[in-house]
Amino acid sequence: MLTAKNLSVAGRLNDVTSALEPSRITAICGPNGAGKSTLLDLLAGLEKPDTGKVLLGETPLATLSPHERGRRLGYLPQTAQIAWDVPVRSLVELGRMPHGDNNRAPVDDAMTALDITALADRRAQSLSGGETARVLLARVLAGEPEWILADEPLAALDLAHQLALLRHLRAAADGGTGVVLVLHDLALAMNHADHVVVLDRGRIAANGTCKDALDTQIIERVWKVAAHWIGEPGQRALVT
């Protein structure tokens, strides 16, 4: 369990509480400026709240060493930047650093899952935006974290790679990993998440199943858009 308890950050979050469970995909949704990235940073231990705390299991996240957090939590920021122009495979291998080993299998598996094996010898700074996003996510997956925390991981990907990535994240969740994604696309959240936290102006507006949290009345209240869902479960589209 990864639990946010009464988290507040001045001007960005106000008394946010939510219990996120392993073995499922949780989507954090909300309008621009709602506090989504702030909440993800707090869950990753990258920022300290003004009040409240984050628990990893029963342990306060703030008491864990950076090494332990790095081993148990895999974080992918919204802005995909690579500082060093190293080969792609070397970059993905950095995901093993918290474990202190050279285990090749997780690296190979991550590169295969993200369809970047052919890029292994390419220099990282020669990649396109979509390729960069896939490589950085592969680095996270190579670390085999207990939790994957990703801020808009699908934004730079084409449709085929979006679906491939979502299938891999579903497999990770089915294997026991907790997956938390910040998503702007409500249809992707509805069709692929198990649980949704909706933020509005720093507060929780809804917290529950996709069907309940992304109800059209909530969408109209939070996003100020009158819309309705069409299609079958798992293949739904939002129509305005």
pLDDT in tens, 57-92: 999 999 999 889 999 999 988 876 777 889 999 999
Label residue 115 by pLDDT band (50, 70, 90).
confident
Beta strands across the sheet bearing 59-60: 13-20, 2-9, 51-56, 59-60
For 149, the token pair is: 């925390």
Distance CA 155, CA 158 (A): 8
pLDDT at residue 33 is higher than 70: yes
H or E element that contains 195: strand 195-200
pLDDT at residue 38 is higher than 70: yes
For the ranges 48-57, 92-101, 162-171, 219-228, the lowest mean pLDDT is seen at 162-171
- Which whole number is the average pLDDT over 162-186? 90
DSSP string, 117-147: GGGTTSBGGGS-HHHHHHHHHHHHHHT--SE
pLDDT at residue 146 is higher than 90: yes
Positive or negative torsion for Cα 9, 143, 61, 3: positive
Q: Give me the residue spans of the domains in the chain.
A: 2-239
Higher pLDDT: 16 or 156? It is 16
**Predicted pLDDT at 43:** 96
- Which whole number is the average pLDDT over 94-119? 91
**Predicted pLDDT at 165:** 82
pLDDT at residue 134 is higher than 70: yes
**Predicted pLDDT at 102:** 84
- Angle at CA of residue 233, ends 166 and 16, nearest 5°: 65
Using only C-alpha atoms, the chain has a radius of gyration, in whole angstroms, of 18
Matching CATH number, 2-239, of 3.90.550.10, 3.40.980.10, 3.40.50.300, 1.10.287.110: 3.40.50.300
**Predicted pLDDT at 80:** 67
For 131, the token pair is: 């390729």
